[in-house]
Structure 1
């Protein structure tokens, strides 16, 4: 029953998000058809028939009211038709997303997992051994977290890529010497091009995980059940992991799930600075070109990912902390 209520809540949230996703781009000034016709008019005159065909293609037909457009939009979603992108015309939106999302999942997803695991592990040790060398890392990592992404990215590009030449300046892989595929050369090129953007994300975000876990560990260590476990003569490692860290990590798990949901959104600034071919870059291009279809498709994918991540963590939370099931 608890699981059904959770699923029902997230289905309602998904419907609300889909509805807002439909309405918001249409309430903004501008029109994707006008944007595309402006580009096409540079190559010659545009006929009225072409404008009519483009209106039908992008779902902006003035002969249809808002409700008819909404029904057509939902019907398109059910059949996997997100429309055609103005920015990458005539490529369908679903193809644009399909090409960009593996890059974002590989870069931002892996970087988020690494930052979270390192931060939680170091935070656990720092809270358990207060006053040791790990505690001295916290002020530095906190300062790095407050540094803007783009500024840190530019610094790393200048020193590690431009001056030392250790990493490429931009891009997702070497387009001149490798072809996309499962070959060793291509995978090695992707790793080499993605290391610097990933390093930027890890350095910028590890401080939050470390500080949050450290503070929760310090708070948990003052609880009675930890003192009881120590009085029983249990090993320090068992007390730290089984009794202290297991309870202290609960808020971090919630934050981690939300972060994983937003992984699909990409890292807008990082991807733009490094010209990385991910979701963030595509989203910025869609906004700058009033690309309704692409914006809607990207927002929908991001929304579904965030809701799915929250649903998974709600279910997982019940196994880690049975008290949540009893309260439900």
Structure 2
């Protein structure tokens, strides 16, 4: 019943997100039709027939009721049809997302996992050995959390890319390579281009995980079950991992779930500074071009990713802490 309740709740939340995703772009000022017509007008006069065709193509036909547009939108979702992108015309929104998503998952996803594992691991050890030199260093790492992404990214570009020449200034891969080859030379080159943006994300995010996990460990160490484990003569490592860290990490898992969900959105600032071809950079281009179809598709993917990540963590919570299933 616990799993069924959770699935039902998230299905309702997904339907609400899909509905809002349909309504919000239509309430914004401006029009994707006008944006596309402005581009076409540079090549010559635009007729009324052209405007009508573009309205139907983009799903904003003024002759159709809002309810009819909504039903067409839902039917398109089931077919995987998210519309046509103005920015990458005549490319489909779904294809644009498919092309951008692997880059963001590779950069932001891997960076988020590395940051979480390092932050939680080091934070757990620092909290277990409170009062040591490692514990004393934790508050200083929080300074990294206050540094703006774009400022740190620009500093790294100036130092490591411009002055030292260790890394490329921008891009996601060497343009002389065939894309996407997905062989070892291409993957190695893409990893090389992602190192500097990944370092920016890790250093900007790790301070919060370190401090949060350290504080939770200190609080958990005074719990009865930890004292009981120590009284039984269990090894310090087993007590730290099985009893203290397992319970202290639960609040961090919620934050990690949200972070994983927002991995799909990418890091707009970092991807923009490095001109990295991910979802974040694509989102910026969509906003600049009033590409509502592409923005709508990106928002939908981001929202559903966050919901799925939270669902997985809710189920994981029930496994790690049976108390959360009580009463269900």
- TM-score by structure 1 length? 0.98
Structure 1, residues 232-258: CA drift from partner, whole Å, max 9, x if none? 111111111111111101111111111
CA distance in 1, matches of 2:327, 2:164: 57
Match of 1:87 in 2: 87
Q: Is the 8 A contact 2:197 2:274 kept in 1?
A: yes
Match of 1:107 in 2: 107
After superposing the two structures, state which structure 1 stretch, 171-180 or 297-306, moved more.
171-180
CA distance in 2, matches of 1:323, 1:243: 15
Q: Is the 8 A contact 2:139 2:211 kept in 1?
A: no
Match of 2:146 in 1: 146
Match of 1:158 in 2: 158
Match of 2:223 in 1: 223
Q: How does 1:281-296 map to 2 (within 5 A)?
A: 281-296=281-296
CA distance in 2, matches of 1:92, 1:32: 14
C-alpha displacement of 1:178: 4.6
Structure 1, residues 148-174: CA drift from partner, whole Å, max 9, x if none? 110111111110111111100000000
Q: How does 1:145-224 map to 2 (within 5 A)?
A: 145-224=145-224
Match of 1:21 in 2: 21
Match of 2:5 in 1: 5
CA distance in 1, matches of 2:178, 2:134: 42
* RMSD (CA atoms): 1.0
SS where residue 275 of structure 1 aligns? Answer: coil
List structure 1 segments (4+ residues) > 3 angstroms apart after TM superposition.
none
C-alpha displacement of 1:183: 2.0
Match of 1:298 in 2: 298
Match of 1:320 in 2: 320
CA distance in 1, matches of 2:231, 2:303: 48
Pair 1:97-2:97 in alignment: yes
SS where residue 126 of structure 1 aligns? Answer: helix
After superposing the two structures, state which structure 1 stretch, 216-225 or 280-289, moved more.
280-289
Structure 1: gaps of 5 or more residues: none
Structure 2: gaps of 5 or more residues: none
Match of 2:42 in 1: 42
Cα 1:163–1:251 change in 2 (3 A) is same
- TM-score by structure 2 length? 0.98
| Equivalent residues, number | 328
Q: Is the 8 A contact 1:178 1:185 kept in 2?
A: no
